[in-house]
Structure 1
């Protein structure tokens, strides 16, 4: 279970990534964020962003046109 959930469904690039960044900025180290997106660019953009940060991509999945990401905040 995530500490916070960000539903970015229906938002187009770059909004899912920008909202993910903003949400992570307001979280403390060790908290988890579940991101739900429908923009296919999210499958590329969110993991690429996380690779440049100390945040951890715990899991990601794609089901139909829905992409989910579980992220552990580095603080």
Structure 2
């Protein structure tokens, strides 16, 4: 399962979605050999990102590649290893 950490949970934590709402979500296999791109429709919210982490294609990608890291544009926002 992919765990995203874009949403701040405590005061003072950065909101990793801020400024990246229109960036594609990329999953990169832990070995770096494959990627999956998901475009926002039209912008991401925290709820939509959380829902994307539970999509069948996202879970299948992480399973097939024995894990994945998640990026919003170029910013790391989570992993199957968190």
Relative to its length, the structure with more helix (as a share) is 1
TM-score normalised according to structure 2 size: 0.34
TM-score normalised according to structure 1 size: 0.36
Greater Cα radius of gyration, structure 1 or 2: 2
